[in-house]
Amino acid sequence: MAARQARQALICIGRGIGDVIQTTPLIQAIYSLGYDIDVWLVPDYPETIRLLAGWPAVRGIITSSSEIGLENYDEVIATLLFPYAHFFYRRPVRVVRYDRQDKRHRTECDMVHARALGYRGPTPPTYARTSGRRFSLPPRTVALHPGSSPQPWNRRKRWPYFPALAALLLDRGFGVALVGTEHDGPPSRAWPDEVMDFRGGLDLLDTGALLGHCDAAVSNDSGIAHYAAAVGVPTLVIFGPTSERLYAPPVPNAWPISADLHCRPCGNLPSCHDRRCLTELRPEAVMRELDARLMGDGPSGLASLRVCAKASGSGEGSGTGLAASTVQAIARGRR
């Protein structure tokens, strides 16, 4: 008797690094239901495609609408952050519509698709691939990502006090590694001399490998924040105009921090010029949060979290974290 052919699914996801990583729980859930999955991704940064390349849960990555034959799929799913949902107008496609009254995390909005198809398990963790490159960093190194995507609305999410936080960390005996592009954050002359500046010197997957060697990370609300959290690093994410309830990395080793202001989150309104939600969050407050969340010796402290992260591990060119091992187990069961 011939084996039943696997059902086919096309999952259409957003442009950015964070968009892609936040969609990986949905991909894993659909994959566990027995679907072969193609992903339609039109990235704003070309290397973003490499985050999913070689992952057993993803059969193929499509970057152009001309490559798509919708009739070949049993399910076509447009996620919440997919920028071209209009492409599916009057077509039989599952689309998550944006509802400003919906206060669930965006990953949970996307998981509605999987649950409609019969998925009954918990929301899987996020996944991201790294290069597996080895880095020799000083003990107790904290990665800082002072940037964000270059679009004007994303630049408005940048916290201005990263150099001051770096100085506080160095005074406490921590190493500091800067990650991102050469355009992320203040120029080199604004930072203490002891800072290790990797900005612009690493490709995306090497950046993920470097993050995996750090003991903690502090980032703006950005794709790199999601990347750090996905590779298992204890991560503190600074939120200003955007909502941590909707966009914080959906994993237990990540925590948001924000100023206590009645006007936030405003959704990154361009009419706001003083950015008090960022300027009133002082570096000393972020350092205190690092102490409370990440640097202790208790069950939620840095030492315990790093043991968990290292246990999940990553090999050369592989994905990291529980998501990778979960999907590999599912793949073995489907053979």
CA distance 248 to 256: 6
Specify the higher pLDDT residue, 138 or 334. 138
Structure tokens at 161: 């006090």
d(CA 270, CA 78): 28
List, for residues 117-171, the tens digit of each pLDDT value: 999 999 999 999 999 999 999 999 999 999 887 776 677 889 999 999 999 999 9
Residue 67 vs residue 139, higher pLDDT:
139
Average pLDDT score, the chain: 83
Cβ atoms of 211 and 231 within 8 Å: the answer is yes
pLDDT (0 to 100) of residue 332: 38
Q: Which of 165-169, 187-191, 217-221, 320-324 is least confident?
A: 320-324
Percent of the chain with pLDDT strictly greater than 90: 52
pTM of the model: 0.86
Residue 103: exposed, middle, or buried by beta-carbon count in 10 A (0-12, 13-18, 19+)? Answer: exposed
- Rounded Cα gap, residues 249 and 226, in angstroms: 5
The CA distance from 74 to 17, in Å, is 27
Top-ranked range on mean pLDDT: pick from 179-183, 245-249, 325-329: 179-183
Average pLDDT over residues 83-92: 66
Q: What is the pLDDT of residue 123?
A: 95
| Beta strands at 7-12 and 35-40: parallel, antiparallel or unpaired | parallel
Q: What is the pLDDT of residues 166-210, one digit of tens each?
A: 999 999 999 999 999 999 988 889 999 999 999 999 999 999 999
The 3-state DSSP class for residue 287 equals helix
Q: What integer pLDDT is reported at residue 98 of this predicted model?
A: 52
- What domains can be seen in the chain, in order of their start residue? 7-124 (3.40.50.2000), 141-312 (3.40.50.2000)
Q: Is the pLDDT of residue 38 over 90?
A: yes
| 214 close to 233: Cβ distance less than 8 angstroms | yes
Q: How confident is the model at residue 319 (pLDDT cuts 50, 70, 90)?
A: low
Provide the 8-state DSSP code for 1.
Answer: -
Contacts of 290 (CB under 8 A, 6+ apart): 142, 216, 218, 236
Q: What is the pLDDT of residues 77-87, one digit of tens each?
A: 888 777 776 66
Using the predicted structure, report yes or no on whether residue 3 has a pLDDT greater than 70: no
CA distance 219 to 56: 29
